[in-house]
């Protein structure tokens, strides 16, 4: 168990945004919230999954809803903690620790927000290793773990427990409805996990990975070094392409932001990459040839600052570098690929990792 310093949290905000792979919402408000909590003297501990006993209970938290609504409602750490408390009241037992459903974007900060009030540690793990749009796109769903129960709360004291559902898809549908009624943003505590489940099906080391990434970027910036090179070095990433955004096409369908961004080479070679997105970057193409695809992480970064660029804000003219980071091994099995491989996003192409030549 280690105590996280404020520097670690600042780094986590940068790293979580990169692991957001284009989505997940900005961690900015959560960072502000955590700075204030640290100022008031609260501290957060990080434990590795190995430190959990098999029968420990672990709360799994996330925001559900539209990042845009959060721009007005603002993040509130007490609501994050309240979703966990409600789950404890429902189950009649307490949690040993809390973890996040996804390390990418604002949700990467969520377990810290809850933990600060609950006085329990954050587990250094998540179930996506990045950000994904839907509830069944997790290693827990891949592992066939139970999708229920779930608690969903809003700051007005509206609190719902979803006791049972047939499948992960049903959990996605029911909880999404509740979230919509709450104003399209809700704090949720997902199905609790045992220590054994976290060890078997959690993606280990996600939080410390995000911190490491963020720290590398911040240090590179301080020393006027190339932040992208630093990222690739410490995470064994692969540089895919560098160029300029020449076209962005966005539309919403079924509540998701879909579209594609075209990145052209800066020289006269006419080489270009098109990246399809569904909230997050999903498949990168060179002509008819897919060059990278989920579950490999596709990250689009500002070529100068290394800052991640979201699918909602990327625009013409930006100088970007596309990199790939390795997928969590739990997603590379046939079952894993069913949930988050190209087929899960409607592509009729076989998965081929950029890290396997």
Partner 1 sequence: MKRVGIDVGGTNTDAILINDGVVEYSVKVATTPNITDGMIGALKLVAERGGDIRGIDAVMVGTTHFINAVVQRKDLKPVGAIRIGSPATTALPPFCDWPRDLADLILGGVWIVEGGHDYDGRRFMPLDLVAVRSAARQIRDAGLRSVAVTAMFSPLDPQDESTVAEILEQEVPDVRVTSSHRLGRIGLLERENAALLNASLADLADDVIGGFRKAISRLGITAPLFITQNDGTIASAQRAIEFPVFSFASGATNSMRGAAHLSNINKAVVADVGGTTTDFGHLRQGFPREANSVVHVGGVRTFFRMPDVVSIGVGGGTLVDPERLTIGPQSVGFRLTEQALIFGGDRLTLTDIAVAAGILDLGDRSRVARIKSSLVKDVLSLVKSRVEDNIDRIKTEAGDVTLIVVGGGGFLIPEQIEGVAHVVRVANGDCANAVGAAVAQVCGEVDQIFQDVSRTDAILEASSIAKQRAVDAGASTKSLVIVDEEAIPVAYLPGNAMRVRVRIVGDIEAVKNLQLSTA
List contacts with partner 1 (CB under 8 A).
Answer: 23, 29, 32-33, 36, 65-69, 71-79, 155-157, 180, 183-184, 244, 246, 250-252, 255-257, 264, 279, 312-313, 315-317, 319
Dihedral sign, Cα of residue 161, residue 166, residue 167, residue 170: negative
Closer of 13 and 230 to partner 1 (Cβ): 13
d(CA 245, CA 242): 10
Distance of closest approach, residue 280 Cβ to partner 1, in angstroms: 10
Distance of closest approach, residue 269 Cβ to partner 1, in angstroms: 15
In sequence order, what are the beta bridge partners of 53?
none
Closer of 70 and 324 to partner 1 (Cβ): 70
Closer of 48 and 180 to partner 1 (Cβ): 180
Closer of 18 and 47 to partner 1 (Cβ): 18
Q: Are the C-beta atoms of 235 and 209 separated by less than 8 Å?
A: yes
Distance of closest approach, residue 154 Cβ to partner 1, in angstroms: 8
Distance of closest approach, residue 50 Cβ to partner 1, in angstroms: 33
Beta strands in 266-318 (DSSP E): 272-278, 280-286, 289-293, 297-302
- Phi/psi at 293 (nearest 5 deg)? -155, 160
Q: What does 14-45 look like in DSSP terms, one character per residue?
A: HHHHHHTTT-S--SHHHHHHHHHHHHTT--EE
d(CA 255, CA 29): 23
Distance of closest approach, residue 35 Cβ to partner 1, in angstroms: 9
d(CA 344, CA 136): 10
For the beta carbon of residue 239, count every other beta carbon within 10 angstroms.
13
Distance of closest approach, residue 48 Cβ to partner 1, in angstroms: 29
Distance of closest approach, residue 1 Cβ to partner 1, in angstroms: 26
d(CA 136, CA 72): 28
Dihedral sign, Cα of residue 337, residue 338, residue 341, residue 342: positive
d(CA 202, CA 46): 15
Closer of 1 and 74 to partner 1 (Cβ): 74
Closer of 76 and 271 to partner 1 (Cβ): 76
Distance of closest approach, residue 121 Cβ to partner 1, in angstroms: 21
For the beta carbon of residue 277, count every other beta carbon within 10 angstroms.
28
Closer of 157 and 166 to partner 1 (Cβ): 157
For the beta carbon of residue 184, count every other beta carbon within 10 angstroms.
17
Closer of 233 and 250 to partner 1 (Cβ): 250
């Amino acid at each position: 168990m280690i105590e996280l310093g404020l520097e670690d949290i600042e780094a986590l905000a940068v790293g979580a945004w990169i692991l957001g792979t284009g989505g997940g919402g900005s961690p900015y408000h959560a960072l502000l919230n955590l700075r204030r909590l640290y100022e008031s003297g609260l501290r957060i501990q990080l434990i590795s999954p190995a430190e959990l006993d098999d029968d420990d209970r672990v709360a799994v938290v996330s925001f559900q809803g539209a990042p845009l609504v959060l721009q007005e409602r603002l993040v509130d750490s007490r609501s994050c903690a309240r979703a966990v408390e409600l789950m404890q009241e429902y189950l009649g037992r307490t949690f040993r620790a809390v973890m996040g459903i996804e390390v990418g974007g604002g949700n990467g900060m969520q377990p810290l927000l809850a933990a600060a009030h609950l006085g329990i540690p954050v587990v250094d793990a998540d179930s996506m290793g990045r950000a994904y749009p839907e509830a069944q796109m997790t290693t827990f769903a891949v592992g066939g773990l139970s999708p229920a129960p779930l608690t969903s709360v809003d700051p007005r004291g509206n609190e719902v427990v979803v006791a049972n559902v047939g499948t992960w898809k049903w959990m996605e549908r029911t909880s999404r409805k509740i979230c919509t009624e709450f104003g399209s943003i809700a704090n949720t505590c997902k199905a609790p996990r045992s220590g054994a489940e976290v060890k078997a099906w959690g993606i280990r080391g996600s939080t410390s990975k995000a911190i490491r990434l963020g720290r590398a970027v911040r240090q590179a910036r301080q020393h006027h070094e190339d932040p992208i090179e630093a990222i690739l070095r410490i995470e064994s990433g692969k540089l895919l392409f560098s160029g300029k955004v020449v076209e962005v096409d966005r539309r919403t369908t079924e509540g998701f932001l879909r579209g594609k961004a075209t990145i052209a080479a800066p020289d006269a070679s006419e080489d270009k990459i098109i990246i399809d997105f569904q909230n997050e970057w999903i498949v990168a193409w060179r002509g008819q040839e897919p060059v990278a695809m989920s579950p490999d992480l596709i990250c689009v970064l500002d070529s100068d600052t290394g800052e991640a660029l979201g699918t909602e804000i990327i625009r013409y003219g930006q100088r970007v570098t596309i990199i790939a980071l390795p997928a969590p091994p739990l997603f590379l099995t046939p079952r894993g690929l069913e949930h988050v491989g190209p087929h899960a996003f409607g592509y009729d192409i076989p998965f081929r990792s950029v890290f396997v030549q």
